[in-house]
Chains A and B, each alone.
Chain A
């Protein structure tokens, strides 16, 4: 059994296309909001964790 299959949707459907476009836009807006919520402390903590990880290797 192949593990990746392609299913061709033959019908052009404006409602489906509009839905996909809206989903892509919603996704962009959600991710932009996540980035807005990132504080400098979170960045500093992640960078510090990376340094610790490198030092214990």
Chain B
């Protein structure tokens, strides 16, 4: 599967799971999976089951940026957002397992990527929830993508924020 925006061909491996390999042998895995298990106790946050978690990983941490890999990643994310419709909601937990500082940097990078995605999805809005960490003075970041014309846009953002104050998960 390839398009003018997708610099590397990618392989769907299952529903919402994609894989591509770069010229330098870096393996990229991308997941855009329906995930409401964290919101089971809250009908509004479940959004009728139309909530997707975006995540990705690479096998080699390479400081040199591979723009073709970024373009491919953004292409996969964008086509999935477009295919899911205006009432879908997407969230992304920024990885900060190496450091909170790097987690914050990833959130800023995702802001830049969002501007590229938004060229194809002009009604999409991004919310960055900054959550105080239990150590240091840093923050964790959970990002949400929601269309401005979602019928419950304002309610959803408020409820999501409230859930972060109370208890995000009551599993």
Q: A residues within 8 Å of B by Cβ? A: 1, 3-17, 19-21, 23-25, 27-28, 30-32, 34-35, 37-38, 42-43, 45-47, 49-50, 53
Q: Mark B116-130, 1 if CB is under 8 A from A, else 0.
A: 001000001111111
Q: Of A28, A35, A53, which one neighbours B9 at CB under 8 angstroms?
A: A53
| Contact (Cβ within 8 A) B97 A5 | no
Q: B residues within 8 Å of A by Cβ? A: 2, 8-11, 13, 17, 19-21, 23, 27, 29, 31, 38, 55-57, 59, 93, 95-97, 111, 114, 118, 124-134, 140, 142, 148, 157, 161, 164-169
The chain B residue with its CB closest to the CB of A43 is B21
Contact count A vs B, C-beta below 8 Å: 123
Given A4-B114, A31-B31, A35-B29: A15 touches B95 (CB 8 Å cut-off): no
Question: A residues within 8 A CB of B55?
Answer: 27, 30-31
